């Protein structure tokens, strides 16, 4: 389907003569503007610009199209401006991308008090960062830092990655091996146990295993579930092992339905970042959302295991 945003982007490129300047004018990323132009060219079946090193040279088809739409586009802009001026209360909308459990542990209780509309998008970090760069997401919570030139990152919290088990799991032999620091024996013992993982947590498991055993994980998960909350419900007052961020199992650790087996030595931490575009028209709202997320995260205690003296040293 034809997207009117393609026309808006085309008009900006035609008037500025430069893809980068057009993207800045529209408060979007350059790849996003390029995608709009390519989509419009594919839709109408004609090339609209000759791409130079610093200037976009309009083709004859581009001039015809511009003259055809410019009055209508200006009328739409005037209507948009008039609507905003006459609105009693204009609430901007932000799109937040993050994992479902990070969402539950950081912002759920604050949503009703937000001074703007919020659309939450769940997904894998790589996918969300792509959407952020394309301009369809405004803010992303991520442990990955992608090197796109249009994005910037601010660290705000840490997760400690730990080995936990169900409250009824017998770990007496493992506790002795850990106390004696017999890494090969610890690894061999763990390989014989029942394991729970999620389809998206391979990074947590891989980092924990590499740091503590100097090799890639060689366990075979018995149960692969969609997210960590499902794992916790399965091992709650039961048996089985999982590796996960400490913040996600804080309540269960307090209640004793899930037990900390090993924090690792050395321990493994993930640094969480806010990712956003360098140029955005929603800077004030994004900053407010960052403050709310940071307070929500630290109130729950990103270093909760230290708080409850579950680590020895």
Distance CA 274, CA 149 (A): 15
From CA 246, how far away is CA 302, in angstroms rounded? 7
Yes or no: say if 195 and 220 are a contact pair by the CB < 8 Å rule.
Answer: yes
Predicted confidence (pLDDT) per residue in 66-94, tens digit: 999 888 888 887 777 666 544 444 678 89
pLDDT value of residue 312? 37
Q: Does the domain formed by 159-269 have CATH 3.30.70.330?
A: no
Query: Which pLDDT tens digit goes with each residue over 128-178?
Result: 898 898 888 999 998 888 788 889 999 988 889 999 999 899 999 999 999
Encode pLDDT of 231-243 as tens digits: 999 998 889 999 9
Is it true that 93-158+270-303 and 159-269 share their CATH fold? yes
The model's pLDDT over 119-140, given as tens digits with 9 standing for 90+, comes to: 999 888 888 898 898 888 999 9
Highest-confidence segment of 6-20, 46-60, 91-105, 195-209? 6-20
User: Residue 142 in contact with residue 271, Cβ under 8 Å?
Assistant: no
Give the per-residue pLDDT at 305: 37
Q: Is residue 306 pLDDT above 50, yes or no?
A: no
Q: Is 56:18 a contact under the CB 8 Å cutoff?
A: yes
> Considering the chain, what is the average pLDDT of its residues?
85
% of residues, the chain, pLDDT over 90: 32
In this prediction, residue 134 carries a pLDDT of 84
Inter-residue contact 119 to 94 (CB < 8 Å):
yes
Between 96 and 78, residue with greater pLDDT: 96
The CATH code of domain 4-86 reads: 1.10.10.10
d(C-alpha 140, C-alpha 217), whole Å: 29
Instruction: Work out whether strand 139-142 and strand 268-277 pair parallel, antiparallel, or are unpaired.
Output: antiparallel
Q: Residue 307: is its pLDDT beyond 60?
A: no
> Which pLDDT tens digit goes with each residue over 188-220?
999 999 999 987 656 788 899 999 999 998 888
Would you call 96 exposed, middle or buried from its count of C-beta atoms within 10 A (0-12, 13-18, 19+)? Answer: buried
Can you give the residue ranges of every domain in the chain? 4-86, 93-158+270-303, 159-269
Q: Which of 1-5, 124-128, 261-265 has the lowest mean pLDDT?
A: 1-5
Q: Measured between alpha carbons, how far is residue 112 from residues 119, 195, 307 in Å? A: 13, 38, 29
Domain 93-158+270-303: assigned CATH number: 3.40.190.10
């Amino acid at each position: 389907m034809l997207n009117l945003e393609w026309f808006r982007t085309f008009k900006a490129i035609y008037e500025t003569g430069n893809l980068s300047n057009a993207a800045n004018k529209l408060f979007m990323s350059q790849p996003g503007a390029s995608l709009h132009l390519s989509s419009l060219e594919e839709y109408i079946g004609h090339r609209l610009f000759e791409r130079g090193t610093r200037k976009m040279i309009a083709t004859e088809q581009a001039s015809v199209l511009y003259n055809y739409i410019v009055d209508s586009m200006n009328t739409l802009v005037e209507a948009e401006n008039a609507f905003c001026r006459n609105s009693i209360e204009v609430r901007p909308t932000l799109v937040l991308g993050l994992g479902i459990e990070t969402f539950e542990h950081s912002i759920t209780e604050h949503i009703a008090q937000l001074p703007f509309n919020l659309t939450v998008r769940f997904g894998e970090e790589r996918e969300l960062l792509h959407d952020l760069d394309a301009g369809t997401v405004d803010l992303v919570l991520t442990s990955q830092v992608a090197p796109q030139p249009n994005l910037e990152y601010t660290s705000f919290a840490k997760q400690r990655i730990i080995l936990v088990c169900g409250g009824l799991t017998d770990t007496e032999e493992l506790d002795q091996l850990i106390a004696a620091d017999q890494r090969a024996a610890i690894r061999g013992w763990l390989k014989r146990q029942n394991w729970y993982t999620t389809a998206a947590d391979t990074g947590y498991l891989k980092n924990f295993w590499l740091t503590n055993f100097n090799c890639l994980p060689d366990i075979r998960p018995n149960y692969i579930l969609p997210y960590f909350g499902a794992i916790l419900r399965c091992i709650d007052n039961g048996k089985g092992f999982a590796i996960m961020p400490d913040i996600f199992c804080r309540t269960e650790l307090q209640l004793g339905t899930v037990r900390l087996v090993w924090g690792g030595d050395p321990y493994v931490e993930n640094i969480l970042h806010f990712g956003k575009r360098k140029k955005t028209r929603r800077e004030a709202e994004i900053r407010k959302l960052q403050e709310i997320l940071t307070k929500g995260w630290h109130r729950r205690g990103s270093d909760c295991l230290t708080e409850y003296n579950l680590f020895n040293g």
